[in-house]
Amino acid sequence: MLEKGKFSFIAETGGCTYKKSFIIKVTEDKSLAGVPHYRLKVERVTPDYCKGLFADGVRVEFDLEKDCGLKGNYTVSIENKILSGK
């Protein structure tokens, strides 16, 4: 989800998944009508080896300005495949 300058997603977890478990790789792409465009790719950098049962996963949130360095007007797209909700 992209909302109010924040990017969030639900990640599978066994109970040991946190924001620091992921990084967001940002790639600048061709601008669209003079507005910068960025491609975001989420990568898990720390595996979750815990064995809890969390069917709903855990919400992870990144601030696009503070965490990704995106400021002003821009467009974004997400490179990862997204599983539709139930």
35-44 and 75-78 strand pairing: parallel
| pLDDT tens per residue across all 86 residues of the chain | 889 999 999 999 999 999 999 999 999 988 778 899 999 999 999 999 999 989 899 999 999 999 999 999 999 999 998 877 65
Query: Tokens in use for 55?
Result: 């069917």
State the Cα–Cα distance between residues 64 and 9, nearest whole angstrom.
13
Q: What pLDDT shows up at residue 85?
A: 64
First to last CA, the chain: 15
List, in order, residues 6 or more apart from 64 with CB less than 8 Å away.
2, 5, 6, 7, 70, 76
Q: What pLDDT shows up at residue 54?
A: 92
